[in-house]
Amino acid sequence: MSESHVSGLAPYASRPERSRGRRHAEPEAAGESAFQRDRDRVIHSTGFRRLAYKTQVFLNHEGDLFRTRMTHSLEVAQLARRLARALRLHEDLCETIALAHDLGHTPFGHTGQHALDDCVRGVAPDSVGFEHNAQSLRVVDHLEECGLAFDGLNLSFETREGILKHCSHRHALALVAQEPGGVAERFLRRTQPSLEAQLCNLADELAYNAHDIDDGMRAGLLSYEALRELPLFERFHREVLAQHPTAQGKRLLGAVIDRMLSQQVDDLIAQSTARIAAHCPQDCDDIAQAPALIACGDEGAAAVLQLKAHLRQHLYQHPRVAAANDVVRQVVRELFEAYLHAPAQMPTSHAVRLPVWAAVTDYIAGMTDRYALREHERLIGGQLARQLPSQLLSF
């Protein structure tokens, strides 16, 4: 990062030299800030490479042009940097949080997560269950094997705080018991995380709303005419056609999505700037005590809600989803059972962990879509994966 950017940071921005530190003390590297070092560790992790073969919405094998968790994370990182620059927040921290935010996702998207959660609750009813945000933190804190002296990536507090963007009360209690005063404490105290963490949370949402329209159209599951019933979409559809009357097909769609996203970004910057000015935070401690300061305006938030409802009804709950989700749930359920009864089928590093159900959970959560399907075929047979209809999705 250039010096000019560092000196241009807002007083309430996160700063690596004021980091609350790492779980295991280690000397910081010369010529590289703590946040840059975190980013390097995330990019070189095995969890990050797996994102290339994990479902975002469309199952990974369906087509080369659909988003995966990897390309989604890169799009979130790009948006987060753009927003951070405009709001004078720390770009490297935003990029790092964005790149790491989905590391805990299971194969097969949200359906995979819910199936795994059901399995965990079935065998360990007193456990906190499975939740992908907590799992993302678990990946960087415990599961990655890169350090000689510690488990995990040993990231800084600020990156870890951003990764744990949501957390249920029961997960927060469990995490705080392990790490008093740690990154889950804010969910019990109801304080806010850094503005960089708040920003990444919204960048995630803006990114997937935009790219799910694109992917949904590409898959032939969304209708352009139905999208025009959304006032936000219709406004930019008309604007593009007024300036480019012959625009059509994917160029028209691309231009409309691009303008929608730009408008949402501009709105987020303007509204957040106004909220920050109204609360006058002097430093990070003030940010924690203030309400959420990174936010869209009421009008923008209402438009996003309409868009999300449209995507839920027409894309995520599309009739073709149901068949795929049934298959995917069965894959996860049968894999869980198989490893639970034969832990030696897992690599030794997992098989030796106790309790077995927790080891199985970590192992399945880390799988890519295609690895899970291959393992299912190896352990269960029956070629369930081949029942997956072509061009389906999972959510």
Interface residue with Mg ion, options 204, 215, 362, 375 (CB under 5 A): 204
Residue 166 per-residue DSSP state = -
Nearer to Mg ion, 102 or 369 (CB): 102
Q: How far is the CB of 279 from Mg ion (least distance, A)?
A: 27
Q: How far is the CB of 325 from Mg ion (least distance, A)?
A: 19
Largest separation between any pair of C-alpha atoms in the chain: 64
Applying CB under 5 A, does 375 fall inside the site for Mg ion? no
CA distance 395 to 5: 39
Q: Nearest CA to 16 among 24, 31, 4? A: 31
- Please report the sign of the dihedral spanned by the C-alpha atoms of residue 151, residue 186, residue 95, residue 64: positive
Residues 6+ apart with CB under 8 A from 372: 107, 108, 112, 331, 332, 335, 364
Q: How far is the CB of 305 from Mg ion (least distance, A)?
A: 18
Nearer to Mg ion, 161 or 375 (CB): 161
Q: Nearest CA to 11 among 354, 337, 279? A: 279
**Site track 146-185 with Mg ion (rule: CB under 5 A), x = hit:** ----------------------------------------
Nearer to Mg ion, 204 or 362 (CB): 204
Applying CB under 5 A, does 212 fall inside the site for Mg ion? no
Nearer to Mg ion, 34 or 210 (CB): 210
Q: What is the dihedral of CA 87, 92, 95, 101, to 10 degrees?
A: -110
Q: How far is the CB of 204 from Mg ion (least distance, A)?
A: 4
CB 164 within 8 A of CB 184: yes
Count of beta carbons in the 10 Å neighbourhood of residue 323: 13
| Chain CA centroid to CA 93, Å | 15
* Piece in contact with Mg ion (CB under 5 A), picked from 41-49, 146-154, 199-207, 367-375: 199-207
**DSSP letter string over 2-38?**
-HHHHHT--TTS--GGG---BSS--PPPTTS-HHHHH
Nearer to Mg ion, 102 or 161 (CB): 102
**Site track 339-358 with Mg ion (rule: CB under 5 A), x = hit:** --------------------
Measured from each CB, the residue nearest to Mg ion is 204
Q: How far is the CB of 261 from Mg ion (least distance, A)?
A: 15
Nearer to Mg ion, 14 or 201 (CB): 201
Applying CB under 5 A, does 102 fall inside the site for Mg ion? yes
Rounded to 5°, the CA angle 349-355-360 comes to 55
Q: How far is the CB of 136 from Mg ion (least distance, A)?
A: 10
Nearer to Mg ion, 99 or 392 (CB): 99
Q: Nearest CA to 140 among 152, 157, 126? A: 152
Q: How many residues bind Mg ion (CB under 5 A)?
A: 2
**Site track 59-98 with Mg ion (rule: CB under 5 A), x = hit:** ----------------------------------------
Tell me the Ramachandran region of residue 88: left when phi exceeds 0, alpha when psi lies from -120 to 50, beta otherwise: left
Q: How far is the CB of 208 from Mg ion (least distance, A)?
A: 6
In the beta sheet, which residues pair with residue 58? Answer: 393
CA distance 132 to 166: 9
Q: How far is the CB of 104 from Mg ion (least distance, A)?
A: 11
Q: How far is the CB of 146 from Mg ion (least distance, A)?
A: 23
Nearer to Mg ion, 202 or 232 (CB): 202
Binding site for Mg ion (CB under 5 A): 102, 204
